[in-house]
Chain A
Amino acid sequence: MRFPKWPGGLSLISGPVETASPKGPLSFFGAEIPSFRPVVTVKEGQKVAAGSILFHDRKRPWISAVSPAAGIVSRLDPGPRRSIAALEITPEGENAISFDLSTSDTRDGLIDLMVKAGLWASIKARPFGKVADPADVPEALFVTATEAFDGAPDPGPVIASYEDAFRRGLRALPVLGAGRTCLCHAEGLPAPDVPGITTRAFSGGLPGDHIHTLHPVAHGGMVWQIGWQEVIALGYLLETSRIWGQRIVSVSGPAATRPGLVAATPGARLHHIAADRLADAPLRLLAGSVETGVATPFLTPGIRQITALFHHEKPAHTHGLNRMIKSRRPALIPNFWDETASPSGILPIPLLRALAAGDAETARDLGVLGLVEEDIAALNHRLGGRDRNGVDYTVLLRQTLDELETIA
């Protein structure tokens, strides 16, 4: 029996980091990037080194994916509408590309390096939460060293064990933006003292909250944000001139018998990463938290936690009395406890009603441009969200943002 938690308390996973033994091929789709049209630069049977580009976007060449390990492209199937149905790499050997770091202290040199090393796609721009366009210059750059959802890895100890790489990455970042570069970390953690970096402690973990506090973009302006593991990856790249071929992922959730941290290779199967940590029962794995997770079979970029849930057969309420009793589009009934989960700086009920009504202009006035899906994920989860036959407000938010982006 789990008692309701007092709001604010967050249970993060820390402890020793185990290395997941690589089993089977690594898989890449690019499906997690919105409106991605891949151009594949490898062929089936080709040998790739750690750091060689696998594919990039047709219109936005700065969105690229690299192979995290040396190996052979063992499978490459085209999917519908020029997408990738399957791209698998069977790890083999230790061959790694050594990147040229000579120009990495200039803006163009750093952008070029990050694009070539597949790191650029981890920089997201707000408003709209898409991959940043290198031609833009942000007003501020946010490094998020906090976590917002239960079961995520605790950034403090992991950053401490990669301290040098993290510092090196932080030192390189300020050339990207025109304004300040803010490192947002959890309260009570010693912030690394790096020249050019503004540090700020936060009790909340959402980058949206940090941006709202320091440099709001809901009514004009643009900022970029980058996660703490990508800063470690950048620092590792700048120190060793090779890519960091792993990510620290937490395995947690009700169906995880042994929650903990795993150093896993991007593209690995979630079930391989979480092997012998799971209960012996029907279960499903989400890449992300309970609130934000997506059911993808592989470790996609930007994922820092794997949530194991028990699989419950959903009774099919599709006929007879059940269909009559259930509302087809449940209305929003304001409740104090739900509103405690709303992100800061917005009026939650008017905003959700504007989203549900498709009223993009009212939503813009209410500050929707400062939000991305993860900001309202907790609120959406409380309101029934994706799982319990409710209205999925994160989907409505994305539709509204797309509409505003086309008229902007």
Chain B
Amino acid sequence: MRHGFVRDNLPGLASLLAPALMLASQDSWFAARLLFCAVLVIGWQSAFALMRGQGVTAHGLVAAALVAIYVPASAPFWQLAIGISFGFVLGEAVFGGRGRNFVQPVVLTLAFLAFSFADQPWREGASLPIVAVLPALVLLVGAGQARLSVLIAFAIAVAVLASLISPELPAAFFQSGTMLLALLFLTADPVTSGSTTAGRILYGLLAGVLTALFSTGGPAFGALVFATLLASIFAPLLDHMVASVHTRLMRRRARRLRHV
């Protein structure tokens, strides 16, 4: 499939349709929260589009919907405004927009809110059944955005480590739609999850190990968010290491094939 709206933005928007409708049916303020988040994200994108020519993409809507889904229903809008502004300006726009950032802005938003305003249950996440999230798995993997290398490495790391320290974690993990959705959109974000296959596997393992470790001291969703933030900071380093090893292997292969 060629790049464009149908491949790059539509799968993300379509994947979030079922979770958003489900939450909207439970919480009468969800629609207002979604609209508020969307206006704020698109507003920051437009500001940087005017100042720096970064452009406005439909991915902003996806990110806004993710924030709206994951913040608690009791969160005041002024806190959301501060969190989103921090996350999207300092996490993405100042680096040149989506594709040039190294942390996921939604992850940064949630982590910032969890640090700054301790009165709200930011680390709990919404409760979603896994059925509502399965379309997202198919769509994002099929569109080539969420990589199987990240997902499988993450699952292996969580399963192995959790069997050692907290046997009930994998069950909670793999049955909850909340975690799967966060894994697909936040941990396996194509921009921040590494740029080489080996780098993505290492990143997935790191994120899985950190999630399992962090979840011993708090809710699993908060653990996933902070593990993703930390792992994505290390992703460029992992890629650099992979590229160095690749160069060395290619040099050795060239010497062998050229008989010199």
> Which residues of A are interface residues toward B (Cβ below 8 A)?
4, 139, 214-221, 324-338, 345, 347, 349-350, 353, 362, 365-367, 382-384
Contact = CB atoms under 8 A, between A and B. Distances in A.
Contacts of B53: 327-329
B191 A345 contact: no
Interface in B85-99: 96-99
Given A216-B250, A219-B254, A350-B195, A336 B56 contact: no
28 contacts: A139-B258, A216-B250, A216-B257, A217-B254, A220-B258, A324-B46, A326-B55, A327-B53, A327-B54, A328-B55, A329-B53, A330-B99, A331-B97, A331-B98, A332-B99, A333-B99, A333-B190, A333-B191, A334-B191, A334-B195, A336-B144, A337-B1, A338-B3, A347-B195, A349-B195, A367-B250, A382-B2, A383-B3
A214 B257 contact: yes
A367 B7 CA distance: 30
B50 interface: yes
A220 B7 CA distance: 39
B196 interface: yes
Nearest to B244: A365
B3 A384 contact: yes
Interface residues of B, number: 39
Contacts of A338: 3, 144
Given A4-B1, A327-B53, A327-B55, A353 B195 contact: yes
Interface string B87-121: 00000000011111000000000000000000000
Contacts of A383: 3
Given A324-B46, A331-B100, A349 B196 contact: yes
B161 interface: no
A345 B251 CA distance: 11
Given A216-B250, A325-B55, A328-B55, A365 B97 contact: no
A345 B254 CA distance: 11
Given A214-B257, A325-B49, A336-B144, 8 more contacts: A4-B1, A216-B250, A219-B250, A220-B260, A333-B98, A335-B3, A362-B243, A366-B247
Contacts of A327: 49, 53-55, 57, 97
Interface string B123-163: 00000000000000000000111010000000000000000
Contacts of A347: 195-196, 242-243, 246
A220 B195 CA distance: 26
Contacts of B196: 347, 349-350
Contacts of B3: 335, 338, 382-384
Contacts of A139: 258
B239 A335 contact: no
A365 B250 CA distance: 9
Contacts of B260: 220-221
A336 B147 contact: yes
Given A347-B196, A384-B3, A216 B258 contact: yes
A349 B194 CA distance: 9
